[in-house]
Structure 1
Amino acid sequence: MSQDEPVLLGPARVRELAAAAGVRPTKALGQNFVLDAGTVRKIVRQASVAPGETVVEVGPGLGSLTLGLLAAGADVVAVEIDPVLAALLPSTVVAQAPSLHVEPPDGEGAPVVLRDGAGRARLTVVTADALTVTALPGPAPTSLVANLPYNVAVPVLLTFLERFDSLQRGLVMVQAEVADRLAAGPGSRTYGVPSAKVAWYATARRVATVGRSVFWPVPNVDSALVRLDRREPPTTTASRQEVFAVVDAAFAQRRKMLRSALAELAGSSAAAQQALVAAGLDPGDRGERIGIEGFAALAEQLVPVAGAGAR
């Protein structure tokens, strides 16, 4: 290891940092801090992080994964909702990576930037709720790598895929159950709204399981890594919002056949059946059997039907 390479955090250092700052992980923010440097390296490796690329990290916490991304040569934009943790992160990174220095912020509330000796911005810390972020400082990120807070993992992932089309890849750590949902295909018992909506933006696959013992506090469930690779959305004249409205309606009552589940959206069961047939779908199927391309085709048929019903 060179003297310029960041030193990753271990269990003792994580607890030392937390104690010094008076920080305890909170369930309200879905916080579970990674203690194991080996797990951090696995995440970075599975994410295919390349030197010089800009990576956005949501929920950096005490900086375990942040340091791993920096060690891989990435420039990191870290979005942290907790102001105490956001304020602590720059000093932690400087202590573990002495070649970096903190640039004084432009003003109150401005992002904090850490630069290397050549003046390159290596870490930018944004104190904000990830669900409200609409723009990020610096070059557009090409990858999202994050240990996502358990309680908002799916909405944060969908929000970033929607708002930042520069993202070509992602590697997120989520609850194992959520990972199964994100990566599920049509016909699977775990396929649902998150599966279909993520498929609009990317192909998703579960690539590794992460045991609960690598976290502090130890959660009640295992976690898993989900790899995402950006794809073109289905070709359709319907908007993304219109397609997602059909997805939501199809899964609102999973046991209902599509002609019944979509009756309200279409104006009647008969109109829903007509749209389903026109889209080449079986009105007796349920939402769990329809892929995102099918939902896109169905939205094309339902938009004029629903509009006519509204008039």
Structure 2
Amino acid sequence: MTLLGPADVRQLAERLGIRPTKQLGQNFVHDPNTVRRIVRAAELAPDDVVLEVGPGLGSLTLALLEAGNAVCAVEIDPPLAAALPETVRQYCPEQAGRLTVIAGDALRVDLGGVKPTALVANLPYNVAVPVVLHLLASVPSLRRGLVMVQKEVADRLTAGPGSRVYGVPSVKLAWYATARQAGKVPASVFWPVPNVESGLVGFETHEAVDADRAKTFAVIDAAFAQRRKTLRAALAGWAGGPVQAERALRAAGVDPGLRGEQLTVEDFTRIASQRGPANPPG
């Protein structure tokens, strides 16, 4: 089986009239070794059904099919979505039946009867965090994932309490899954070459937290909206005042003098159980 190299990627783009756009965050991987490394890092089981967001010209798609997994690819760019099945038939005809392509926005798309168990994707940097959190919330069949994102975003998603970059993405991902750093990806393997480095984030989902997600996420948002303030001050608006915030924090066993970046997701769930309205999860 042949994967897409630099010449293949450029020829495909030229034939389709595709010019990568910053608006859609399009940077196409053109190195076969890189996409195979991504598939290995995903640690897929033979029966995993893979959800790929933003397949683009199909570099990663072909590597996933080469590994023997069924792939449901969601592509927002109509010409790319229309061309992907033909690309697979050309480069990987024996696996073409394992591919399902859905044209649409991953933040809104209906997967129909497909129940993917793994998310593997080269995500557009500007929507990476919202896409990951939305899919984990809306696709309960997901068990694991491996996403390529901007290195800075990878650091945030995998940070633990006390880290300088620990924040809202870190805690909200921890609600759903245990995350890990899975390697770096150089800018040179993309066309066009981005001006940032990329990182791989792997995750394994865990049992649902026994708490109200909307209330917990509201507390997380409030705590990090003013991250330099103590929790007593940062949660005053959420609780109805600093006195009420301190009361809720002490009831949850949390020091009111701490800051949000020092708390685990379990700490936030205990705080949220004390009081506060439910806001839509983000």
TM category, shorter: over 0.9
The 2-side partners of 1:189 and 1:270 are apart by 28
| Residue 196 in structure 1 maps to residue 171 in structure 2 | yes
The 2-side partners of 1:270 and 1:15 are apart by 62
Asked if structure 2 preserves the Cα contact closer than 8 Å seen for 1:210 and 1:224, the reply is yes
2:30 is aligned to 35
2:51 is aligned to 56
Gaps of 5+ in 1: 1-5, 101-113, 116-121
Q: 2:146 aligns with which of 155, 171, 180?
A: 171
The 2-side partners of 1:280 and 1:50 are apart by 41
- 1:120-171 deviation per Cα after TM superposition (whole angstroms, max 9, x unaligned): xx000000000012x3144411100000111100000000000111100000
The 1-side partners of 2:94 and 2:141 are apart by 29
Q: 2:225 aligns with which of 246, 252, 268?
A: 252
Instruction: Tell me the secondary structure at the aligned position of residue 33 of structure 2.
Output: helix
- 1:168-195 deviation per Cα after TM superposition (whole angstroms, max 9, x unaligned): 0000000000000000001000100000
The 1-side partners of 2:248 and 2:26 are apart by 44
Asked if structure 2 preserves the Cα contact closer than 8 Å seen for 1:31 and 1:150, the reply is no
Q: Which amino acid aligns with 2:128?
A: A
Asked if structure 2 preserves the Cα contact closer than 8 Å seen for 1:50 and 1:72, the reply is no
- 1:223-282 deviation per Cα after TM superposition (whole angstroms, max 9, x unaligned): 01000000124333xx10110000000000111111111101100000000000000001
Runs of 4+ in 1 over 6 A off after TM superposition: none
The 2-side partners of 1:164 and 1:173 are apart by 19
| Residue 294 in structure 1 maps to residue 270 in structure 2 | no
The 1-side partners of 2:112 and 2:245 are apart by 45
- The residue correspondences of 1:26-175 to structure 2 (distance < 5 A) are 26-100=21-95, 114-115=96-97, 122-133=98-109, 135-175=110-150
| Residue 275 in structure 1 maps to residue 248 in structure 2 | yes
Instruction: Tell me the secondary structure at the aligned position of residue 124 of structure 1.
Output: strand
Q: Which amino acid aligns with 1:46?
A: A
Moved more, 47-56 or 8-17: 47-56
Q: 1:187 aligns with which of 127, 145, 162?
A: 162
Aligned length: 278
Q: Which amino acid aligns with 1:235?
A: D
The 2-side partners of 1:52 and 1:187 are apart by 38
Moved more, 137-146 or 56-65: 137-146
Asked if structure 2 preserves the Cα contact closer than 8 Å seen for 1:33 and 1:62, the reply is yes
The 1-side partners of 2:259 and 2:236 are apart by 13
Cα RMSD (Å)? 1.2
1:264 is aligned to 237
What's the CA shift for 1:99?
2.7
The 2-side partners of 1:82 and 1:151 are apart by 16
2:216 is aligned to 243
| TM-score normalised to structure 1 length | 0.87
The 2-side partners of 1:44 and 1:61 are apart by 16
| TM-score normalised to structure 2 length | 0.96
The 2-side partners of 1:234 and 1:126 are apart by 31
The 2-side partners of 1:219 and 1:227 are apart by 22
Larger Rg: 1
Instruction: Tell me the secondary structure at the aligned position of residue 281 of structure 1.
Output: coil
